[in-house]
Structure 1
Amino acid sequence: MSLLYPHQFHDIEHRVARLINVYKSVNDTRTISLIQSETQDHILSLFPKKTLELEKWVDQLMTLDLSTYKAEKLLAEMKPYVKPFTHPTPQQVKKVFRKVKKLKTPKISEEVLYDSTYIGWTDIASQRKYILYYDKNGKLQGFYGDLSPQVVKGFCSICNKESNVSLFMRKTNQSSDGRYTKKGDYICHDSLKCNRQLDSLVHFQNFLHKIQ
């Protein structure tokens, strides 16, 4: 099978969870069949090549007795096909944030890399949130901003899910008179949770555009 990106794997996870909920709560067979077909087509569309192995795997999700336990086992079989976030070297991170003195970089586990579309961490001392990501050309990019310590319930502008969010503000100097301006929005306070909720790049890309 072809490789999946982390957000695509999370997309499959979320759709499988929805399917299980439908099996438990919907009695109308036509509705169930429609959602099954929609889910099946969407998952298969994430792969450039449709293999017999892949089709058999998806077929196992289409049984009405699919349980959370069985779904977790099936998803675990798919995890090796996920392309993890490429672990940057300390030198690469320092180059991205070359203007930051005494930068503290986090230790990133292999599990986190498999879950992550971006890497985000907060420097508690400065209340700065740092975010690393790879652009469409595969180049490591990053930015940082102030993260409010106040956590509220709301929608994250990165993953577009309801979550515990905080206001993130990035300082820019793009005004015509050279003065600094601030741009930002509410994002998940916990970046790892945000990554696990992120199942599409659309809102993340919109967020990147918003804070430029």
Structure 2
Amino acid sequence: MTITKESTGRTNVTGQPDAFIRNHQYNFIKEQALNLVTAHAMANDAEVLSVLRHLSHEKVFALFPALTEEQKQILRPLTSVKDTDDAEGFLAGLRPHLIPFRAVTNDSLKRLFPKVKRLKGPNVPSIDFYSLSYLAWQENTNRFLVAERNGRLQAVSGQFGASRKQGICMICHKHGTVGLFTAKTKAGADNYIKHGQYICADESLCNSRLTSLERLEQFLDRLER
């Protein structure tokens, strides 16, 4: 197992002052929009729908501790979502305001994993950084993960089992096809502890379903001990 941290050395994540929504927040908002679509398809009670719209509005606004009035205006159309077309239009309006994951290169990734010889790295030009809360890729039996925390890149690696089963992912906490990620952490001068955690077999799917960073951070913290 490898775990390293590297400063991102930046003050502005995107260079775009109107970008304020991270991937996990976008996924949460999308979830709320689709819940409203389902509610309108199944419920006829105007009062019930009004309450659901209000709750969705409150949950989304609670994601952001200090919204500007302009940002509130961008999010408010959520309460008008009634069908799939409304949801798609609303979500399309959010995409220009997404904050991408920290851009990386193969050279910068090699610096994050200094003990790994012949690290190939992912196909960086094909990565949609706007759809990532963490970056992950597979090389042989090893899985590599990179996440940004407090302005720094944190990297971990470990064995990822070839067997697949249905279960709960420790990162996105959604049910699906998972594999066993196993890594060793130092517990003393010459002692190591092996940690095994089930995570999504498909890291892209995991990123698309992640609505909170809490369990991702817990996953990383456990490997840092």
TM-score normalised per structure 1:
0.88
Task: Measure the CA separation in 1 of the matches of 2:123 and 2:147.
Answer: 16
For 1:76 and 1:110, locate their aligned partners in 2 and report how far apart those are by CA, in whole Å: 21
CA spacing shift, 1:111–1:73, aligned 2, 3 Å: farther
Q: Distance in 2 between matches of 1:108 and 1:54?
A: 34
For 1:19-98, list aligned pairs within 5 A.
19-47=36-64, 48-51=66-69, 54-55=72-73, 57-63=74-80, 66-98=82-114
Moved more, 183-192 or 88-97: 88-97
Mapped pair 1:149 → 2:167: no
What SS class does the counterpart of residue 128 from structure 2 fall into? Answer: helix
Query: Counterparts of 1:164 and 1:154 in 2: how far apart (Å)?
Result: 6
Runs of 4 or more consecutive aligned structure 1 residues displaced over 6 Å after TM superposition: none
| One-letter amino acid of the structure 1 residue matched with residue 194 of structure 2 | K
Change (3 A) 1:109 1:197: farther
The alignment status of 1:170 with 2:157, answered yes or no, reads no
Structure 2 distance, partners of 1:53, 1:99, is 43
Q: 1:44 to 1:147 in 2, by over 3 A?
A: same
The aligned counterpart of 1:190 is 202
Q: Tell me by how many angstroms 1:53 deviates.
A: 6.8
What SS class does the counterpart of residue 42 from structure 1 fall into?
A: helix
Deviation at 1:202, TM superposition (A): 0.9
Q: Percent identity?
A: 28
Q: For residue 110 of structure 1, report the CA deviation from its aligned partner.
A: 6.7
RMSD: 2.0
Per-residue deviation, residues 154-182 of structure 1 (Å, max 9, x unmatched): 110100111111111112222x3613321
Q: 1-side partners of 2:106 and 2:71: how far apart?
A: 39
Contact 2:80/2:86 (8 A) holds in 1: no
Superposition deviation, residue 72 in structure 1: 1.2
- Distance in 1 between residues matched to 2:202 and 2:131, nearest whole Å: 13
Q: 1:40 to 1:144 in 2, by over 3 A?
A: same
Moved more, 43-52 or 28-37: 43-52
2-side partners of 1:182 and 1:27: how far apart? 53
Question: Can you list the C-alpha shifts for 1:38-89, whole angstroms capped at 9, x where unaligned?
Answer: 111222333423425743x54433347x221231122111111111001112
Taking a change above 3 Å as real, the CA distance of residues 71 and 109 of structure 1, as seen in their structure-2 partners, is farther
Tell me which residue corresponds to 2:214: 202
Partner of 1:14: 31
Structure 2 unaligned regions, length at least 5: 1-17
Where relative contact order (Cα < 8 A, 6+ residues apart) is larger, the structure is: 2
Write the distance in 1 (CA, Å) between the matches of 2:106 and 2:177: 30
The structure-2 alpha-carbon separation of the partners of 1:52 and 1:131, relative to structure 1 and needing over 3 Å to count, comes to closer
- Give the one of 140, 146, 169 matched to 2:153: 140
Give the Å deviation of 1:150.
Answer: 1.2
State how many pairs are aligned: 206
Q: What are the ranges of 5 or more consecutive residues in structure 1 without an aligned counterpart?
A: none
d(CA) in 2 for partners of 1:52, 1:103: 44
Gap change, CA 1:142 and 1:198, over 3 Å in 2:
same
